[in-house]
Amino acid sequence: MLVRHAESTWNELHLVQGQNDEARLTDRGRQQAADVAEELRSRDFDLIVSSDLRRATETAAIIADVLGLVVATDELLRERGFGVAEGGPIDQLREETVGVVEGVVIDDDASPEGGETLRDFRQRAGRFLELRELKWPERRLLVITHGGTIRALQSYNEGTPFLGSKWDRVANCSVWTLTPHRGWSSRRKE
The strand pairing partners of 142, in sequence order, are: 48
Selecting among 12, 22, 38, 79, the annotated active-site residue is 79
Neighbours of 99 (CB within 10 A): 22
**Which residues neighbour 12 within 8 Å (Cβ) at sequence distance 6 or greater?**
26, 28
Domains of the chain as residue ranges with CATH:
2-93+116-161+169-185 (3.40.50.1240)
Per-residue pLDDT tens over the stretch 89-127? 999 998 888 999 999 999 999 999 999 999 999 999 999
d(CA 98, CA 155): 17
Q: Is 14 a catalytic residue?
A: no
The reply to whether 79 belongs to the active site is yes
pTM across the whole model: 0.92
Exposed/middle/buried for 188, CB within 10 Å: 0-12, 13-18, 19+?
A: exposed
Q: Angle at the Cα of 73 (from 28 to 121), degrees rounded to 5?
A: 90
- Taking the C-alpha atoms of 112, 118, 123 and 124 in order, what is their torsion angle to the nearest 10 degrees? 50
Given the residues 5, 7, 116, 146, the one annotated as active site: 5
Region 27-35: mean pLDDT is 98
Q: How many helices (H) and strands (E) does the chain have?
A: 6, 7
pLDDT at 184 over 90: no
CB of 44 closer than 8 Å to CB of 74: no
